[in-house]
Structure 1
Amino acid sequence: MQQRVYVVDDDQGMLDSTVWLLESVGLRALPFTSGQLFLDACDEHSQGCVLLDVRMPGMGGLNVQEAMRARGVQMPVIFVSGHADVPIVVRAFRAGAVDFIEKPYNEQLLLDSVQQALSHAPAAVQADPRLQAIEARLASLTPRERDVLLPLVRGYTNREMAEQLDISVKTIDLYRSRVMKRMQAETLADLVGMTIAAQLVDALQLRGPRA
């Protein structure tokens, strides 16, 4: 049976290109231009995974994710967004998202994430080679780089980190760049996801939206 991927995006061009990409590797992609249309079409028996845009008119992706949980829909959720920031990423992972990919996305990165989600099995998490790779990268960090990593993923600004560690903002910039390079993280969203996956930080302890 073909694996189903539900694609939810109000941008018709992006929706069409994502569906084409998924179908080009033999997956069955089901397109939806709004969160409500997707929710109307799925239930707790639906199988596959969901590619979900964060910002959409009406019901946004995070609200769709919450509605899925309330309805008992257990499909893995991958967020795809051109507007990722730490509070959004934290909220998505806190609610159970398996990945968060920023637009414009790398096609192979998206396909790899989808395949991983489709084979998602909680019992196999510890044996996941991706997790082992993340742990190896974490082990390569120097003590000072690790000092910068934790407040960075918790949403603190460079200036706040500089004050905490009693070093200059310029030095923080340097360490921040080195942390991203050593962890092979292209974006801050990638880095947050890695530290949560490795249980280095608890998503519930990460800084949310500021007042």
Structure 2
Amino acid sequence: MSTADTVVHIVDDEEAVRNSLAFLLSSAGFAVRVHESATQFLAVAPQISNGCLITDLRMPDMDGVELLRRLRAADAMLPAIVITGHGDVQMAVEAMKNGAIDFIEKPFSDDVLIESITHAASRAAERVQSDAALEAVRQRVALLSEREQQVLKGVVAGQANKTIAFELGISPRTVEVYRAGLMGKMQARSLPELVRMVMDLKIDTP
């Protein structure tokens, strides 16, 4: 997944600003979508799989900080840049605390904006790759047998084979067999890699 696949979503209540930013970024090679309000963007944000956001800080229906808060609450956060006036720096810092990766003060040069958007698009593409990797791990866990998942839970908890064997009522040798089998199914080259896979997934195996 490359930055060329990343859609830049522009949220601004002023049509002239939306059109100007869209023209600039389109000319720089970005795919662009415009949204006339934060409310309108929030309605579609959960369906965006690979995108980044550029939003004005002050808007009549909802300011940029509140937009970021609601995106986080909806688990729909995107790499975001806020555009701010000189008197809004404190609000812009608040936006950073709520997940924005950058803020740009008006007036700004085209190069500054493009560089920031390039960074945001790169972050978005990396996140898509990470999400795809986690989904692959989730699918591997689902293919494990119930007993293999029980052994996996013990391994991830740091339990010794003897402890896992005692809790499951099987022999330590049988635990070793299950462990070797699930390592193969999970495509883990080492125990630390296996543990990291499951911890990144943030699941509680049965």
Q: Aligning the two structures, in what range does the TM-score lie when normalised by the shorter sequence?
A: 0.5 to 0.7
Match of 1:48 in 2: 51
Q: 2:121 aligns with which of 118, 122, 138?
A: 118
Match of 1:109 in 2: 112
Match of 1:77 in 2: 80
Q: Please give the alpha-carbon distance, in whole angstroms, between the structure 2 residues aligned to 1:85 and 1:100.
A: 10
Q: 1:27 aligns with which of 7, 27, 30?
A: 30
TM-aligned CA deviation for residue 86 of structure 1:
3.8
Show CA shifts across 1:85-137 (max 9, x none): 34212211111210000122210100000001111259xxxxxxxxxxxxxxx
Q: Please give the alpha-carbon distance, in whole angstroms, between the structure 1 residues aligned to 2:18 and 2:88.
A: 22
CA contact under 8 A between 2:5 and 2:50: conserved in structure 1?
A: no
Q: Please give the alpha-carbon distance, in whole angstroms, between the structure 2 residues aligned to 1:67 and 1:76.
A: 14
TM-aligned CA deviation for residue 83 of structure 1:
4.6
Q: Please give the alpha-carbon distance, in whole angstroms, between the structure 2 residues aligned to 1:84 and 1:8.
A: 20
Q: Please give the alpha-carbon distance, in whole angstroms, between the structure 1 residues aligned to 2:52 and 2:73.
A: 17
CA contact under 8 A between 1:22 and 1:111: conserved in structure 2?
A: yes
Q: Please give the alpha-carbon distance, in whole angstroms, between the structure 2 residues aligned to 1:33 and 1:80.
A: 15
Q: Which has the larger radius of gyration?
A: 2
Residues 115/94 of structure 1: CA separation in 2 closer, same or farther (3 Å cut): same
TM-aligned CA deviation for residue 63 of structure 1:
0.7
- Aligned to 2:81, the other structure's residue is in SS state strand
CA RMSD across the alignment: 1.8
Show CA shifts across 1:67-90 (max 9, x none): 100010131110012254342122
Show CA shifts across 1:17-54 (max 9, x none): 00001110211110011000111122065321100101
Q: How does 1:1-211 map to 2 (within 5 A)?
A: 2-43=5-46, 45-120=48-123
Q: Please give the alpha-carbon distance, in whole angstroms, between the structure 2 residues aligned to 1:69 and 1:78.
A: 15
Q: Please give the alpha-carbon distance, in whole angstroms, between the structure 2 residues aligned to 1:84 and 1:28.
A: 31
Residues 77/21 of structure 1: CA separation in 2 closer, same or farther (3 Å cut): same
Residues 69/84 of structure 1: CA separation in 2 closer, same or farther (3 Å cut): farther
Q: Which amino acid aligns with 2:5?
A: Q
Q: Please give the alpha-carbon distance, in whole angstroms, between the structure 2 residues aligned to 1:90 and 1:114.
A: 18
CA contact under 8 A between 1:8 and 1:38: conserved in structure 2?
A: yes
CA contact under 8 A between 1:35 and 1:64: conserved in structure 2?
A: yes
CA contact under 8 A between 2:46 and 2:76: conserved in structure 1?
A: yes
Unpaired segments ≥5 residues, structure 1: 123-211
Consecutive aligned runs of 4 or more in structure 1 exceeding 3 Å deviation: 83-86
